[in-house]
Amino acid sequence: MADKPSFRLIPHSNPVPDAERAQLIADPGFGKIFTDHMVVIRWSVGTGWHDAEIRAREPFQLDPASAVLHYAQEIFEGMKAYRTGDGRVTLFRPEQNARRFNESAHRMAMPEIPEEMFLEAIEKLVALDKAWIPAGEGSLYLRPFMFANDVFLGVRPASEYIFCAIASPVGAYFKGGAKPIKVWVSQDYSRAARGGTGAAKCGGNYAGSLLPQAEAIQRGCDQVVFLDAAEHRWVEELGGMNIFFVMDDGSLITPPLGTILPGITRDSVITLARDNGLVVREENYGFDQWQADAASGRLREVFACGTAAVIAAIGKVESKGSEFMVANGETGAVTEKLRDGLVRLQRGESNDGHGWLRTIPLD
């Protein structure tokens, strides 16, 4: 059964009691609370994927020489399960997460996981822990990840890996409605270079973004924006979100794929915008142009997007030696419309013309 294990279910012997869980998910915040179970699947050279289990969430025992602790061979995904108005539980384009997970795996010299196994892992976890999905604006954030687990300090792709998926109930990312954020454009640090790992969802990219992100916070900003590594000129993306510019003719500009992370929200926004008759151009946009267009009024709106926050307006921009507002600094009409359209679609409140929602079978 190598490479196609069936999942062994070992239910939690002592799950969180109903009343306590209800209290926890009433105001969950982001990424602090976890459900009762986790998925674990092992991979080793020769055997392939094996020992697929869903069991009580618990710490791993890692040898101090475990490869991931030294060379950061690790990838992850981020996705959400939603409770729809008609009582279903859905995922949004999860096969895209499965596909991207394998692209990240390929870049990091890790084994790929069959897409059906990835999806089954996620669906089984959500179905088992469905009571943890918050009502209203909340959702269940899912975090599948994989890491190298060889006990070996030599530098080479590992021969053993662990795939794991955990789930975390989350509230609306930005409390009290979506206030426009302020971004810090880093001119000292870059996130990714051509030929690097920018398009892979790997932990290492995040480790490298923490110092510039801390700098952003220190400057009173919410998020860092990265420019390209070669010229420090072209806008790439935020630490964990893609970026769009809305021009005065109603068209949208977003940086092309390559060194940026190919966001599923980014792809969905492009499609929804085009559905709405808007022109979307995937092309390089310079920070100098951003400043000039904000000053001239040609630039009407800027927003960031990703699974966690969905769509967040960017109202203010700061960098070394400059600070400016985008239009009046408020959330613009196009941003609002796209966010509303995407959120309604994700929650099953509008027609899913693209077949993006996947309903999870709940025994």
Ligand X SMILES: *Cc1c(COP(=O)(O)O)cnc(C)c1O
Q: Which is nearer to ligand X, 307 or 319 (CB)?
A: 307
Pick from 264, 220, 274: nearest CA to 242? 264
Give the CA distances from residue 251 to residues 32, 246, 248, 274, 292, in Å, rounded to whole numbers and listed in that order: 38, 6, 7, 10, 17
Q: Which residue has the tokens 């795939």?
A: 163
Question: Segment 298-317, which members bind ligand X (CB under 6 A)?
Answer: 306-307
- Residue 197 as a binder of ligand X (CB under 6 A): the answer is no
Cβ atoms of 146 and 161 within 8 Å: the answer is yes
Tell the smallest beta-carbon distance from residue 95 to ligand X (Å).
13
Q: Which is nearer to ligand X, 49 or 101 (CB)?
A: 101
Binding characters for ligand X, 13-32, by CB under 6 A (x = yes): --------------------
- When the beta carbons of 117 and 312 are compared against ligand X, the nearer one is 312
Q: Does 261 bind ligand X (CB under 6 A)?
A: yes
Give the span between the Cα atoms of 97 and 207, in whole angstroms. Answer: 21
Find the part of the chain contacting ligand X (CB under 6 A) among 12-20, 258-266, 315-323, 340-348.
258-266
240 binds ligand X (CB under 6 A): yes
Tell the smallest beta-carbon distance from residue 2 to ligand X (Å).
Answer: 30
CB of 115 to ligand X, least distance (A): 16
User: For the packed helices 94-107 and 264-275, what is the interaxial angle rounded to 10 degrees?
Assistant: 130
Write down the least CB distance from residue 355 to ligand X, Å.
18
3-state secondary structure the chain: CCCCCCCEEECCCCCCCHHHHHHHHHCCCCCCCCCCEEEEEEEECCCEEEEEEEEECCCCCCCCCECHHHHCCEEECCEEEEECCCCCEEEECHHHHHHHHHHHHHHCCCCCCCHHHHHHHHHHHHHHCHHHCCCCCCEEEEEEEEEECCECCCCCCCCEEEEEEEEEEECCCCCCCCCCEEEEEEEEEECCCCCCCCCCCEHHHHHHHHHHHHHHHHCCCCEEEEECCCCCCEEEEECCCEEEEEECCCCEEECCCCCCCCCHHHHHHHHHHHHCCCCEEECCCEHHHHHHHHHHCCEEEEEEEECCCEEEEEEEEEECCEEEECCCCCCCHHHHHHHHHHHHHHCCCCCCCCCCEEECCCC
Between residues 39 and 264, which has the closer beta carbon with respect to ligand X?
264
- Stretch of 56-64, 109-117, 239-247, 274-282 lying at the interface with ligand X (CB under 6 A): 239-247
- 263 forms part of the interface with ligand X (CB under 6 A): yes
Question: How many residues at the interface with ligand X, by CB under 6 A?
Answer: 13
* Least distance to ligand X, CB of residue 234, Å: 16
Window 99-158: residues binding ligand X (CB under 6 A): none
| Residue 236 interacts with ligand X (CB under 6 A): yes or no | no
Q: Show the binding pattern over residues 66-105: x = contacts ligand X (CB under 6 A), - = does not.
A: ------------x---------------------------
The minimum distance between CB 286 and ligand X, in angstroms, equals 20
Using CB under 6 A, pick the residue from 80, 83, 266, 316 that binds ligand X.
266
Identified binder of ligand X from the candidate list 98, 164, 241, 243, rule CB under 6 A: 241
Residue 255 in the binding site for ligand X (CB under 6 A) = no
Residue with Cβ nearer ligand X (236 or 301): 236
Question: Taking the complex as a whole, how short is the minimal distance between the CB of residue 121 and ligand X, in angstroms?
Answer: 18
Of the pair 327, 343, the CB lying nearest ligand X is at 343
Q: Which positions touch ligand X (CB under 6 A)?
A: 78, 201, 237, 240-242, 261, 263-266, 306-307
